[in-house]
């Protein structure tokens, strides 16, 4: 609908124009949004001869702008303000290092330049995941005893971002071992395995084989005192105890999806021509992720 409105507008505009107005192609749909500096967003066409750049006066120290969720945060865009937008056509292809340099390169030459004015709305959606093989919808539940997100091992990391949910020093993603057939095998799904049949899945069980020796004190890769091919922590007949190792650092993924939409937008050329987007303009969505061990604030 937005593209149709724009085309209808151009048809009317060109019918009234003297024929000398060079209408920009402005075809940036589906192109990747890149960023650099503190803080510039930009798109370039496949020919690398056109760019659409937004510069915002915000703090992005340690990528903080991408790590905080917000809904339709407004930014006023203008040629003379602290937040700006520019559309440029170049006489040759841009290099990968064109943007965010302290001293802009002299080539390629800008053959045409437009500036934007309007209201930009940005929505940033954050998702957290420990990538441990257990779907977040299973792990992200409220503990009825605490009224907060379930944290089985009470280490401060809720289960849905905890790579070792039960704190037994066996990563949840590795607690998918089926010992019912030999040689043992990985099922790829930790939610299927309950070695001792006590009703608690291994990834939530601190004594996986129910031999009264906690799994944290039994070997995951060594041991096997009876030489049957089953790790000690899964073998009820192997009770050799070891000193617990230091817990692994809990790293999980923080993903963002940042949506840019101009509620209003007017493009103006250096020669005084203007193009108005009556239905607004969608700049696009930028996605990315970070690995972090910081405790969540939610």
Query: Do 141 and 167 belong to one domain?
Result: yes
| Res 75: pLDDT | 98
Does 150 share its domain with 244? yes
The pLDDT score that the predictor gives to residue 49 is 92
156 with 57, same domain? no
The predicted structure's pLDDT at residue 103: 75
The confidence score (pLDDT) of residue 128 equals 95
Same domain, yes or no: 43 and 121: yes
Q: How many angstroms separate the CA atoms of 186 and 48, rounded?
A: 47
pLDDT band at 13, cuts 50/70/90?
Answer: very low
* Residues 33, 64 within the same domain: yes
Least confident of 22-31, 172-181, 242-251: 22-31
pLDDT band at 23 (very low <50, low <70, confident <90, very high): low
Q: Would residue 298 count as lying in a domain? A: no
Q: Does residue 87 fall inside a structural domain?
A: yes
Structure tokens at 218: 């039994």
35 lies in some domain: yes
- Do 215 and 175 share a domain, yes or no? yes
Tell me how far apart the alpha carbons of residues 85 and 79 are, in angstroms, rounded to a whole number. Answer: 7
- Residue 169, domain extent: 131-249
Contact 21, 273 (CB under 8 A): yes
Instruction: Please indicate, yes or no, if residue 210 is contained in any of the structural domains.
Output: yes
Residues 243 and 260 in one domain: no
Q: Indicate the pLDDT class of residue 97, thresholds 50, 70 and 90.
A: confident
Residues 118, 258, single domain; the answer is yes
pLDDT value for 27? 80
pLDDT band at 5 (very low <50, low <70, confident <90, very high): very low
Would 297 be classed as within a structural domain? no
For the ranges 21-25, 94-98, 141-145, 214-218, the lowest mean pLDDT is seen at 21-25
Kindly report which listed range (61-65, 97-101, 135-139, 218-222) carries the lowest average pLDDT score: 97-101
Task: Note whether 85 and 108 are within 8 A (CB).
Answer: no
Phi/psi at 114 (nearest 5 deg)?
-125, 150
- Whether residue 144 sits in one domain with residue 118: no
| pLDDT above 60 for 278 | yes
pLDDT, the chain, mean? 89
Mean pLDDT of 242-254: 94
Closest CA to 203 of 162, 232, 263: 162
Contacting residues for 207 by C-beta, under 8 A, at least 6 apart? 196, 213, 214, 215
Does residue 172 belong to any structural domain of this protein?
yes
> What confidence score (pLDDT) does residue 18 get?
38
pLDDT digits (tens, 9 = 90+) for 176-224: 999 998 899 999 999 999 999 999 999 999 999 999 999 999 999 877 7
In a shared domain, residues 80 and 153: no
Residues 237 and 259 in one domain: no
Q: Are residues 176 and 277 both part of a single domain?
A: no
Q: Calculate what percentage of the chain has a pLDDT beyond 70.
A: 91
Q: Calculate what percentage of the chain has a pLDDT beyond 90.
A: 76
Number of domains forming the structure of the chain: 2
**Average pLDDT for 123-139:** 96
269, 256, 265: which is closest to 283 by C-alpha? 265
In a domain? residue 174: yes
Look at residue 76 and tell me if it is in a domain.
yes
């Amino acid at each position: 609908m937005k593209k149709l409105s724009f085309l209808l507008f151009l048809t009317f505009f060109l019918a009234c124009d003297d024929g000398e107005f060079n209408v920009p192609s402005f075809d940036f749909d589906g192109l990747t949004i890149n960023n650099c500096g503190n803080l510039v967003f930009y798109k370039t066409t496949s020919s690398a001869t056109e760019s659409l750049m937004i510069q915002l006066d915000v703090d992005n120290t340690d990528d903080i702008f991408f790590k905080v969720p917000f809904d339709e945060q407004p930014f006023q865009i203008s040629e003379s303000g602290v937040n700006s937008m520019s559309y440029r056509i170049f006489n040759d292809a841009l290099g990968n290092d064109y943007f965010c340099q302290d001293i802009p390169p002299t080539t390629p030459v800008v053959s045409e330049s437009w500036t934007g004015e309007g209201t930009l709305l940005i929505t940033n959606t954050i998702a957290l995941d420990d990538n441990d093989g257990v779907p977040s919808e299973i792990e992200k539940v409220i503990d009825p005893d605490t009224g907060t997100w379930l944290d089985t091992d009470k280490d401060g990391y809720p289960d849905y971002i905890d790579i070792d949910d039960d704190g037994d020093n066996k990563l949840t993603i590795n607690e998918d071992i089926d010992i019912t057939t030999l040689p043992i095998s990985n099922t790829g799904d930790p939610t299927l395995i309950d070695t001792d049949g006590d009703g608690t899945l291994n990834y939530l069980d601190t004594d996986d084989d129910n031999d009264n020796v906690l799994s944290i004190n039994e070997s995951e890769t060594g041991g096997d005192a009876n030489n049957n091919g089953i790790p000690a922590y899964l073998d009820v007949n192997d009770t050799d105890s070891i000193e617990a190792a230091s817990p692994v650092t809990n790293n999980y993924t923080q993903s963002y999806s940042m949506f840019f939409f101009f509620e209003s937008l007017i493009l103006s050329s250096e020669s005084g021509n203007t193009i108005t987007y009556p239905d607004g303009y969608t700049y696009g969505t930028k996605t990315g992720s970070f690995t972090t061990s910081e405790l969540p604030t939610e």
